[in-house]
A and B are shown apart, each in its own frame.
Chain A
Amino acid sequence: MTQTSLLKQDARTARRNRAEARFKAYGLIAIGIGVLMLVILLGTIFSRGAGAFQQTYLTLDVTLDAAKLDKKGKRDIEDIKKVSTFGYAPLLNDAFAQLVDSGAASSDLKPKEMSGLLSKGAEARMRDAVLDDPDLIGQTVSFDFLASGRVDGYLKDRVTRDSIANDKNISVEQLDLVDQLRAAGLLKKKFNLAFITGADSSDARPEAAGMGVSMVGSLFMMLVVLALALPIGVAASIYLEEFAPENWITDIIEVNISNLAAVPSIVFGILGLAVFINYMHLPNSAPLVGGLVLTLMTLPTIIISTRASLKAVPPSIRDAALGVGASKMQSVFHHVLPLAAPGILTGTIIGLAQALGETAPLLLIGMVGFIASNGPESISEGLLNPNSAMPAQIYEWAKRADPAFYERAWGGIIILLVFLIGMNAIAVLLRRRFERRW
């Protein structure tokens, strides 16, 4: 036998090393592609959606003329209420006329056309303020009015002088005025809290649409899912894993739970429509029904992850507990379950996150396309009143023609992502906490 030197690689080793280097390179490339996709995705979402968190406002001094708002002059709230938003429109026109008179801007537009720069909700905004505090009547009050979607788009470069050639909602003269107001510092973009807290709006007022109410809808659905899916899922898993005899019935149940996890979510939607709405007569579009449907969808996820984490607890722990005379139930609840808890929690939160982002089943139970204008006032209202949900709201906006809604869809995705990331962070934190205790 010839002596081989360790300092020199033989052919076989060199080949093996090359294969390993190649494999590592493939892995790096795969990870690189993944990270690149993620960066592109997040970059797109944030660059397109960030605009939704800013909105253009016009600061305008309005004289709340007593002669128009309270003709009898008695400041009786019932009298004041009789004046509808139409009664406030002239005030707005006067305010614009005054603006031009004061020399802050010059325009040949009629005051009514100038009012067109504002969102259609401007009158309602004034009326609400007056009803809130009737003493404002007769005073000159400075309001921050939402600008219309077109004006907002102009400030965000979505709308240009060329793009509005055939647009009936805005004219070049109006944009000239916008430029002046902007230069005067009266018209500017501000952070838009209403996008996060507000309700959806009709097609005519994209600038006023917000995620808030659908967020509440999602919240109530998640409460239903959590309250039902977690206890049912965990109880079912404990029974199957720890108590069920090993026979064909158990096997069938097991196979079916796994199959259930693979059922497309729209099927759960149709089931919810047939059972909860048509048969049990629960209200349409209600978060309760949405929650029930999503519970069905989330259960298999929770059961599978719970069973996996129960299985991961070493049998010797069960033996130890039984060996000192603990009952089966004591061994499960005192020893096995606490050890499995982090896994159960992670599974539950992942299941919830899935449910939070689910749109398809909501289509069938009427939670898509519904515009809820007010948030619920009590828990039962929250569960039973028609509402939408975050992903349904996003889908709804993405469908609409006005590009202003398109921007809001992206903004909604950002909010949804923040929720999902938040939930995952909670899962990680809870898991860490639990783990430190052993």
Chain B
Amino acid sequence: MRDNTQTPEAQVAQKSKISATGVQVHYGDTHAIKDVNVEIEDKTVTAFIGPSGCGKSTFLRCINRMNDTIDICRVQGKILLDGEDIYDPKVDPVQLRAKVGMVFQKPNPFPKSIYDNVAYGPRIHGLARNKAELDEIVERALRRGAIWDEVKDRLAAPGTGLSGGQQQRLCIARAVATEPEVLLMDEPCSALDPIATAQVEELIDELRQNYSVVIVTHSMQQAARVSQRTAFFHLGNLVEFGDTDKIFTTPEDPRTESYITGRIG
């Protein structure tokens, strides 16, 4: 299903960051992901779309091994990050997650101050040598999360006291503060107003300069706006994967077409 008709300059700029082959996920008896193969490129935004319950979040959580925390979840297949198998027994998932950051579907700030929310990651990874550096990292992350102006006067206030949309942007700031190489975002804008959404999309665009971003979204427009590549999931299958332009204009699979035109989902 890999789309090979790329423009020459794209081929130069893009190299595979994550490569998944034959991924199967079971939750007990539920077969949630069925034999999925995906190449996620560096410095690219990849969008996962599909109807509710089709396995987008599940697949996303395979990429930073968050599924390890679910006892009944079994992952099979191969997922390579920079050519290394992340499910190799030698891999420590904690080290992996420092490289592959995640923003969750539901905003989940720590019940600590706004500052501590963002500073927590850099602290445990030893990214700052002193308070001034940490302050700088926190400010930069909050600016990138498009929330700095709203919280700069109350960094000591609890993160849980923010509105839902603000909390989500705080979580984005928290995720970028550790400078991950890959950022996984599970419906990051579902609780945001159009202005904040635009800011987050701008951030995603900026992150693309250095990182690879995977975003799950229910908004076709958002997928079309921010992503270069789109994967369409349906009932655990990867139905179609290719350049965003192509998927939205000339989809190959009839299911993709029905979904993006609003007939299934």
Contacts and interface: CB of A to CB of B under 8 A. Distances in A.
Contacts of B94: 322, 325-328
Interface string A378-422: 000000000000000000000000000000000000000000000
Contacts of B111: 317, 339, 438
Nearest to A339: B111
Interface in B77-136: 94-95, 97-98, 101-104, 106, 108-112, 120-121, 124-125
Contact of B160 (A323, A327, A330, A438): A438
A321 B110 contact: yes
B213 to A, nearest CB: 15
A318 to B, nearest CB: 7
A323 B110 contact: no
A326 B214 CA distance: 21
Nearest to A334: B120
B256 interface: no
Interface string B165-196: 00000010011011000000000000000000
5 closest residue pairs by CB, A with B: A325-B98, A316-B108, A324-B121, A438-B111, A323-B102
Interface string A338-366: 01000000000000000000000000000
B71 interface: yes
8 contacts: A318-B69, A321-B110, A323-B101, A325-B101, A325-B121, A334-B120, A334-B124, A335-B110
A320 B109 contact: yes
A333 to B, nearest CB: 11
A323 B71 contact: no
B66 A319 contact: yes
A231 interface: no
A187 B106 CA distance: 76
Contacts of A325: 94-95, 97-98, 101, 121, 124-125, 178
Nearest to A327: B94
Nearest to A328: B94
Nearest to A320: B108
Contact of B97 (A246, A314, A322, A334): A322
A27 interface: no
A193 B160 CA distance: 51
B64 interface: yes
B158 interface: yes
Interface string A81-124: 00000000000000000000000000000000000000000000
Interface residues of B, number: 29
Given A317-B108, A325-B121, A326-B121, 10 more contacts: A317-B110, A321-B110, A322-B97, A323-B97, A323-B102, A323-B103, A325-B94, A325-B97, A327-B94, A339-B111
Most A C-beta atoms less than 10 A away, residue of B94, B95, B98: B94
Interface of A: 245-246, 314, 316-328, 330, 334-335, 339, 438
Contacts of B124: 324-326, 330, 334
B71 A324 contact: no
A324 B108 contact: no
A321 B111 CA distance: 12
Given A318-B69, A330-B124, A323 B109 contact: no
Nearest to B177: A324
A316 B178 contact: no
A323 B66 contact: yes
B106 A316 contact: yes
A324 B175 contact: yes
Nearest to B122: A324
A324 B178 contact: yes
A42 B97 CA distance: 59
Most B C-beta atoms less than 10 A away, residue of A317, A320, A324, A328: A324
Most B C-beta atoms less than 10 A away, residue of A246, A320, A321, A330: A320
Contacts of A328: 94
Nearest to B108: A316
Contacts of B158: 438
Contacts of B177: 324
Contacts of B121: 324-326
Contact of A245 (B71, B103, B104, B110): B71
B97 A324 contact: yes
Contacts of A335: 110
A335 B117 CA distance: 11
Interface string B3-37: 00000000000000000000000000000000000
Nearest to B61: A319
A320 B110 contact: yes
A339 B111 CA distance: 8
Contacts of A321: 110, 120
Nearest to A325: B98
Nearest to A316: B108
B66 A324 contact: no
Contacts of B104: 316, 319-320, 323
A286 B64 CA distance: 55
Most B C-beta atoms less than 10 A away, residue of A325, A326, A334, A339: A325
Contact of A319 (B71, B108, B125, B160): B108
Contacts of B120: 321, 324, 326, 334
Nearest to B92: A327
B141 to A, nearest CB: 11
A320 B171 contact: yes
B30 to A, nearest CB: 17
A339 B106 CA distance: 19
Interface string B37-77: 00000000000000000000000000010100101000000
B112 A322 contact: no
Contacts of B110: 317, 320-321, 335
A330 B94 CA distance: 11
Contact of A323 (B64, B95, B106, B112): B64
A326 to B, nearest CB: 6
